[in-house]
Amino acid sequence: MATYSRSAEILSKITLKGREVCTTLLNVVQVRKEFTQEVADPVSVLKSIESLDLIPCSASIDLERIRRKAQEFNTLNDAIAKNLPGLLVIEMKCVADLMLRISQGYEFSHLQQLMKDGKTNAITSSKEDKILQLKQMSRNCMIYAGMIQYKMPREVYATLIALDVNI
């Protein structure tokens, strides 16, 4: 995108909306790259997904905001909308991976920032609190997926259900 931004001739031919879509898609590609790394850090991937602000990726998000995100899905550019089911699967796989690691006793010092309690903004620290927060993230993801269920491939929803059952 930086290459195009430096050229006034090219920049004048691309609409502002087109640039925003391109930037968002490049960020989605970055999340996918981060997720597919040999030693992917699920916390970092979840933070990247949250920073995209395309899908609910937080334990502290309320139902109204999830509903609003589902309504926004209809107004998204088709290229972005086609990538959201994949992001949902990535989110659920990261949550499932974190659940497994935490249940096995792994500690994540950088998990603290992701696990803020939405009401008090306090950082949760106990193993049980982390597990509850991750379950809430999973629940929020599934609520959103249920709201856009008919706008994504059946296999994606089936995969999300299978991942949710394991959480």
Angle of helix 127-147 relative to helix 84-103, nearest 10 degrees, comes to 160
pLDDT score at 1? 65
Residue 141 in contact with residue 62, Cβ under 8 Å?
no
With H, G, I as helix, E, B as strand and everything else as coil, classify residue 45: helix
Distance (Å, rounded) from C-alpha 115 to C-alpha 59? 8
The chain-wide mean pLDDT, for the chain, equals 87
**β-strand partners of 116:** 123
pLDDT score at 120? 44
Q: Does residue 23 register a pLDDT over 50?
A: yes
Tell me the per-residue pLDDT of 115-161, one tens digit each, with 9 for 90 and over.
554 444 455 568 888 899 999 999 999 999 999 999 999 999 999 99
pLDDT score at 119? 47
pLDDT top residue among 11 and 112: 11
Distance (Å, rounded) from C-alpha 3 to C-alpha 160? 37
Distance (Å, rounded) from C-alpha 107 to C-alpha 98? 10
pTM of the model: 0.85
Q: Does residue 9 register a pLDDT over 70?
A: yes
Residue 80 in contact with residue 29, Cβ under 8 Å?
no
